[in-house]
Chains A and B, each alone.
Chain A
Amino acid sequence: DAGVIQSPRHEVTEMGQEVTLRCKPISGHNSLFWYRQTMMRGLELLIYFNNNVPIDDSGMPEDRFSAKMPNASFSTLKIQPSEPRDSAVYFCASSFYPDTQYFGPGTRLTVL
């Protein structure tokens, strides 16, 4: 069975550019999570969807970040405009609520 799929795996962009990260959750899972991992702050939950509906976005750092889940098999995390401090690894995870979360391989974002 396919796990959580994320694309791109690596993204290098310049400050001010728009960045879109993509995630395909495990088929049948009804919950999707976006996390950010940095050395300084560890793993942080950014936003959580249940049945495609955003439930809690309190972890989204600021208005430059937005996330959507138009259907059960696809989600995006967008940063516009990007800044160097957004450089991090972004993980998408999915679960069949409230069971174990399974993580994707992550997207390593570098903003120059």
Chain B
Amino acid sequence: AQKITQTQPGMFVQEKEAVTLDCTYDTSDQSYGLFWYKQPSSGEMIFLIYQGSYDEQNATEGRYSLNFQKARKSANLVISASQLGDSAMYFCAMRWGGSNYKLTFGKGTLLTVNP
């Protein structure tokens, strides 16, 4: 069964510092995709970044980067230069090759950025 694990229920970071949010996954498929979404207190789900299982380079989108370690089955999100507006819930999700359309979500990590 496909599974996403986010082991950090909550994280704190000082403004302007970098923070890493952990995500590990379990799948036997060779073809899969990994996503990170942000959910601020207002409730919307905002797509941040995507990594395909065959991508050799780590994905980057502005201040967001995905530290993809395929052998360890981890896909950690790195946020550089944290801002107060980064305070939110962050979800890791996986789409696997056997069922391309379905996203399996982790339970999320609540990030708080302190001034």
Assuming A97-B100, A98-B100, A100-B50, is B105 touching A42 (CB within 8 A)? yes
Whether, in the assembled complex, B3 has its beta carbon less than 8 Å from a beta carbon of chain A, the answer is no
Cross-chain contact A98 with B44 (CB below 8 angstroms): no
**Complex Cα spacing A45 to B101, Å:** 10
**Complex Cα spacing A93 to B43, Å:** 14
**Complex Cα spacing A91 to B43, Å:** 10
Cross-chain contact A98 with B101 (CB below 8 angstroms): yes
Query: Secondary structure of the A side of the interface?
Result: strand
How many inter-chain residue pairs (CB < 8 Å) link A and B?
A: 43
B37 nearest in chain A by CB position: A103
Assuming A100-B35, A103-B37, is B103 touching A45 (CB within 8 A)? yes
Please give the number of chain B residues whose Cβ is less than 8 angstroms from any Cβ of chain A in the complex.
17
B100 nearest in chain A by CB position: A98
- Chain B hits for A50, CB < 8 A: 101
One digit per residue, 1 when the CB lies within 8 angstroms of any chain B CB and 0 when it does not, for chain A 89-107 equals 1010101011011111110
- Chain B hits for A101, CB < 8 A: 35, 47, 103
Contacting A at CB under 8 A, from B4-57, are 35, 37, 43-47, 50
**Complex Cα spacing A42 to B47, Å:** 17
Cross-chain contact A31 with B45 (CB below 8 angstroms): no
**Complex Cα spacing A95 to B103, Å:** 12
Cross-chain contact A102 with B44 (CB below 8 angstroms): no
**Complex Cα spacing A108 to B41, Å:** 13
Query: Which B residues are within 8 Å of any A CB, using their own CB?
Result: 35, 37, 43-47, 50, 91, 95, 100-103, 105, 107-108
